[in-house]
Amino acid sequence: MTTRRSLTGVAVLALAGSLAGGGAWALQNAPQQPPAAQTPPTALTPAPIPAPQQSRPAPAPRPAPPAAATSASTTAAQAQPATAAKPTTTPDKPAEPLKRARSSVAILQALDKVTTETMRFEAPVGQPIRYKTLIFTVRACETTAPDEDAPDSVAYVTVDTQPKALPGRVAPPGRQIYKGWMYANSPGLNPLEHPVYDAWLIACKTSAPVAPAASR
């Protein structure tokens, strides 16, 4: 019995050794797989640093009006009656200049430089008046207004030369030799220029002339 137990133990030990040797040989001869590729770690992108914001000082709070004063002013405003809006005052307009007084007749005086003869005559506005070979036509006769600096009488006169027709002959054509304003107080300001005759304004009047014409 003892011999059988010893043989059985030896057989178990031999079987276990063969199994262990076969497993080691199988592990050594098994194909080895290459190690798996490792993924490189992803580089972290630095986040942008926000610009520093300038802090503005907060506005100081306005003190609230006292409740008593506010209620008193509101009560006073409600107690006063509503007044009508005052009309806006417009600036005063400058005074318009006074108009000149217009006359219907001009008093003229003419001079013959050859004979030194003078004649004063009246010429109604718009009516031709003959003096020798000259024909005077007054278009307007005015007297300065009171608000003007220098009082004066002015007349707008046209003068045409018209020689008289000789018996049996046709009168030569006339022509205008003067046109403009004559001044009673300044006869040399705009005078009539003629080699034989001279004429100037004396005054303006509103009554009708005594003689309708003055002629030679």
- Written as tens digits, the pLDDT of the chain (216 aa) is 555 555 565 555 666 555 555 554 444 555 555 555 555 555 455 555 555 555 565 666 665 555 544 555 555 555 555 555 565 666 667 767 678 889 999 999 999 999 999 999 999 999 999 999 999 999 999 999 888 888 899 999 999 998 887 888 887 788 999 999 999 999 999 999 999 999 999 999 986 544 444 444
29 burial (CB, 10 Å; 0-12 / 13-18 / 19+) is exposed
Whether residue 107 contacts residue 202, with contact meaning beta carbons closer than 8 Å, is answered with yes
DSSP state of 195: S
133: phi then psi, degrees, rounded to nearest 5: -100, 10
pLDDT of residue 7: 57
**Alpha carbons 101 and 143: distance in angstroms, whole number:** 5
**Alpha carbons 202 and 107: distance in angstroms, whole number:** 5
Radius of gyration of the chain (CA): 67
139: phi then psi, degrees, rounded to nearest 5: -95, -30
Beta strands in the chain (DSSP E): 101-103, 105-112, 117-124, 129-131, 134-143, 153-161, 175-183, 197-205
